[in-house]
């Protein structure tokens, strides 16, 4: 058994950490937050460093890394979340989905553009009727029209839609099916297509703007279909492990950032004539944070390793995302406590990390639904919903 990163992985981690410290100070993050969009300069730099193509096949200009490389990068990049904007949507989801299911023409068109930082994706899956029971709630539909399609419906929480070049939209294309999972199709929709309206949703989450998106008679060519018509939901299922592992890595990044901020504060803040880091209560908080974050990282890396070996990891990926999100929220909460009153001000970053960590308990899948899935896959109990 070997728990060490390879020299290349350790180098990637170090490079990403130094890059974020150097090029993404709090001012860059706060500007991105105020503007509701990521930093174009940072995005370009990440493209130059090859990080937008980290898991894209070398044939399409990427560096051909695996999910563990992505998880390592994700953990480090998340400190600058609003500034790195649609990294998760574009690199972890858009690039991966096109790599898995795209036609040769779609791969040749999209993957080099993603790698070069010329193409941003948004994910339009969740609907106003619900994200957990996504099939039960789905009203968005696409109907055949000549050679192409016409798309109608509404989506909630499509993050980065206001800036994206393309939207990955999930729509029902056939109602006469035996199971709700059948008859669903994935579409790659140009953001500028006539009939699309984007309306910002105000949230407390410090990320690039998230939006309601309305699709009114949007005409699409036949080659807007990603993968196989009617098999879209099964295709989504095939990307879920990636999504959960990287969600776990992102949550972990928030928790680690909060822990490091709290540790630095505990070393310099004084009370009763000594640094608060000398007080046992504060030491115990920090010891618990360090322990839980280590455990979460081991779970994320185990799931990523299994996935990279092509082995079954549904339970492990779901556990990793759920546990990392819970641990991150606890770590951020303790970091606020260690900062005392300052923890709830915008002078320090820990409350921002808490709001971000909180998202990962809800998206891309809620932690309640994770527990349902773990009960089924690991405990082999009957489906509860
Ligand atoms: C800031 C932000 C950004 C987002 N970005 C995107 C994006 O880019 N693209 C996108 O498509 N979506 C996005 N989402 C949506 C996110 O994925 C959904 O919010 C999430 O899947 C939950 O869906 P919901 O909000 O409709 O909650 P619901 O599904 O309505 O759930 C409400 C509550 O009921 C619980 N619940 C439901 N069913 C069960 C069950 N069977 N057992 C136990 N509990 C259950 C849930 O766990 C939750 O606590 C984003 C959300 C936020 C807040």
Q: Evaluate whether residue 104 is within a structural domain.
A: yes
Burial of 267 (0-12, 13-18, 19+ CB in 10 A): exposed
In a domain, 383, yes or no: no
β-bridge pairing 121-124 and 148-155: unpaired
Domain boundary residue, one of 230, 263, 292: 230
Angle between helices 314-338 and 280-308 (to 10 degrees): 160
Q: Are 309 and 352 in the same domain?
A: yes
222 and 240 assigned to the same domain = no
- Domain assignment present for residue 101? The answer is yes
Strands 166-172, 121-124: pairing is parallel
367 and 330 in a single domain? The answer is yes
| Predicted confidence (pLDDT) per residue in 21-68, tens digit | 999 999 999 999 999 999 999 999 999 999 999 989 999 999 999 999
CATH code for the domain of 62:
1.10.540.10
* Judgement on whether residues 187 and 99 belong to the same structural domain of the protein: no
Q: What is the pLDDT of residue 336?
A: 98
Q: What is the rounded CA–CA span in Å between residue 82 and residue 127? A: 23
The verdict on the CB of residue 369 being under 6 Å from ligand 1 is yes
- Same domain? For 39 and 83 the reply is yes
Nearest CA to ligand 1 atom 50: 157
Distance CA 197, CA 178 (A): 33
pLDDT at 184 exceeding the cut of 90: yes
In a domain, 352, yes or no: yes
Residue 163 three-state SS: coil
218 and 239 share a domain?
no
Measure 243 CA to ligand 1 centroid, in angstroms. 14
If residue 170 lies in a helix (H) or strand (E), which one and from where to where? strand 166-172
* Ligand 1 binding pocket includes 367 (Cβ within 6 Å): no
- pLDDT at position 10 is 97
Q: Is 60 in the pocket of ligand 1 (CB under 6 A)?
A: no
pLDDT class for 381, splitting at 50, 70, 90?
very high
DSSP designation for 116: T
CA distance 271 to 72: 37
Q: How far is the CA of 245 from the centre of ligand 1 (A)?
A: 17
ipTM for this prediction: 0.99
DSSP 3-state of 28: helix
Residues 87 and 144 in one domain: no
Q: Is the pLDDT of residue 74 over 90?
A: yes
The bridge status of strand 225-226 relative to strand 210-220 is unpaired
Alpha helices in the chain (DSSP H): 7-23, 26-35, 40-48, 67-77, 81-84, 87, 96-101, 104-115, 134-137, 232-268, 280-308, 314-338, 350-359, 367-377
Average pLDDT for 118-138? 96
How much distance in Å is there from the Cα of 50 to the middle of ligand 1? 32
**pLDDT attached to residue 54:** 94
Determine, yes or no, domain membership for 384: no
Full DSSP string of 263-330: HHHHHH-EETTEEGGGSHHHHHHHHHHHHHHHHHHHHHHHHHHHHHTT---HHHHHHHHHHHHHHHHH
The SS3 assignment for 31 reads helix
The structure tokens listed for 207 are 């990320």
DSSP for 326-364, written as a single string: HHHHHHHHHHHHHTGGGGGSTTSSHHHHHHHHHHTTTSS
Does some domain include residue 382? no
SS3 label, residue 210: strand
Q: Distance, CA 213 to ligand 1 centroid (Å)?
A: 16
Interval 248-294: pLDDT, tens: 999 999 999 999 999 999 999 999 999 999 999 999 999 999 999 99
Q: The CATH number of the domain where 238 resides is what?
A: 1.20.140.10
Query: Which ligand 1 atom is nearest residue 368's CA?
Result: 47
As a whole number of angstroms, the distance between CA 85 and CA 64 comes to: 22
The closest-lying atom of ligand 1 relative to the alpha carbon of residue 124 is 11
Does position 352 have pLDDT exceeding 90, yes or no? yes
Enumerate the active-site residues.
Answer: 243
Q: What percent of the chain has pLDDT over 70?
A: 100
Same domain, 157 and 38: no
Q: Is the CB of 167 under 6 A from ligand 1?
A: no
Percentage of residues of the chain with pLDDT beyond 90: 97
Last residue of a domain, one of 230, 260, 283: 230
138 within ligand 1 shell (Cβ under 6 A): no
Whether residues 282 and 176 fall in one domain:
no
The verdict on residue 340 lying in a domain is yes
Is residue 2 pLDDT above 90, yes or no? Answer: no
Structure tokens given for 361? 């308990």
Residue 299 corresponds to which tokens in the numbers above? 């779970």
- 168/222 same-domain check: yes
Residues 285 and 364 grouped into a single domain: yes
Residue 90 DSSP class: I
Decide if 97 contacts 38 (C-beta within 8 A).
no
- Structural domain that includes position 63: 7-119
Q: For residues 266 and 138, what is the distance between their CA atoms, to the nearest angstrom?
A: 49
Q: How many whole angstroms separate alpha carbon 69 and alpha carbon 65?
A: 6
Average pLDDT over residues 292-303: 98
Mutate to test the pocket of ligand 1, among 326, 362, 382 (most ligand atoms within 8 A of CB): 362
Q: Give the Å distances, CA to CA, from 149 to 144, 229, 337.
A: 4, 11, 54
pLDDT interval class at 1 (50, 70, 90): confident
Cβ 125 under 6 angstroms from ligand 1: yes
Ligand 1 within 6 A of CB of 374: no
Report how far ligand 1's centroid is from the alpha carbon of 205 (Å): 14
What is the average pLDDT value for the chain, to the nearest integer?
Answer: 96
Distances (CA, A) of 238 to 57, 100, 172, 217, 374: 18, 9, 18, 29, 17
- Specify whether 171 is located in the same domain as 114: no
- Residues 250 and 111 sit within 8 Å (Cβ to Cβ): no
What is the domain count for the chain? Answer: 3
CB 299 within 8 A of CB 252: no
The mean pLDDT of 212-216, rounded to a whole number, is 98
Of 230, 262, 284, at which residue does a domain stop? 230
């Amino acid at each position: 058994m070997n728990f060490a990163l390879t020299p290349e992985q350790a180098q990637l981690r170090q490079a990403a950490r130094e890059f974020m410290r150097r090029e993404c100070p709090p001012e860059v993050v706060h500007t991105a937050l105020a503007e509701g969009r990521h930093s174009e300069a940072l995005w370009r730099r990440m493209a130059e460093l090859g990080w937008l193509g980290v898991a894209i096949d070398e044939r399409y200009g990427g560096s051909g890394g695996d999910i563990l490389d992505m998880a390592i990068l994700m953990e480090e990049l998340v400190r600058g979340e609003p500034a790195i904007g649609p990294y998760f949507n574009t690199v972890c989801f858009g690039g991966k989905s096109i790599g898995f299911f795209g036609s040769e023409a779609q791969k040749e068109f999209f993957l080099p553009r993603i790698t070069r930082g010329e193409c941003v994706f948004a994910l339009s899956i969740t609907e106003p009727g619900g994200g957990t029971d996504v099939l039960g709630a789905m009203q968005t539909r696409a109907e055949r029209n000549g050679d192409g399609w016409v798309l109608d419906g509404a989506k909630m929480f499509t993050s980065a839609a206001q800036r994206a070049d393309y939207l990955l939209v999930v729509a029902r294309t056939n109602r006469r099916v035996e199971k709700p999972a059948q008859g669903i199709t994935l579409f790659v929709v140009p953001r500028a297509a006539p009939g699309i309206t984007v309306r910002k949703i105000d949230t407390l989450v410090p990320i690039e703007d998230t939006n309601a998106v309305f699709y009114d008679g949007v005409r699409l060519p036949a080659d807007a279909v990603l993968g196989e018509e009617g098999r879209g939901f099964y295709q989504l299922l095939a990307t879920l492990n990636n999504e959960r592992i990287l969600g776990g890595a992102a949550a972990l990044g928030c928790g680690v950032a909060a822990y490091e901020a709290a540790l630095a504060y505990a070393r310099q803040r004084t009370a009763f004539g000594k640094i608060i880091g000398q007080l046992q209560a504060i030491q115990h908080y920090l010891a618990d944070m360090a322990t839980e974050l280590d455990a979460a990282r081991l779970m994320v890396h185990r799931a990523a390793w299994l996935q990279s070996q092509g082995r079954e990891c549904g339970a492990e990926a779901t556990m990793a995302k759920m546990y990392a999100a819970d641990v991150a929220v606890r770590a951020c909460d303790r970091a606020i406590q260690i900062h005392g009153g300052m923890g709830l001000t915008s002078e320090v970053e820990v409350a921002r990390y808490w709001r971000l960590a909180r998202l990962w308990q809800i998206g891309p899948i809620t932690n309640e639904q994770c527990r349902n899935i773990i009960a089924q896959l690991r405990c082999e109990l009957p489906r509860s919903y």
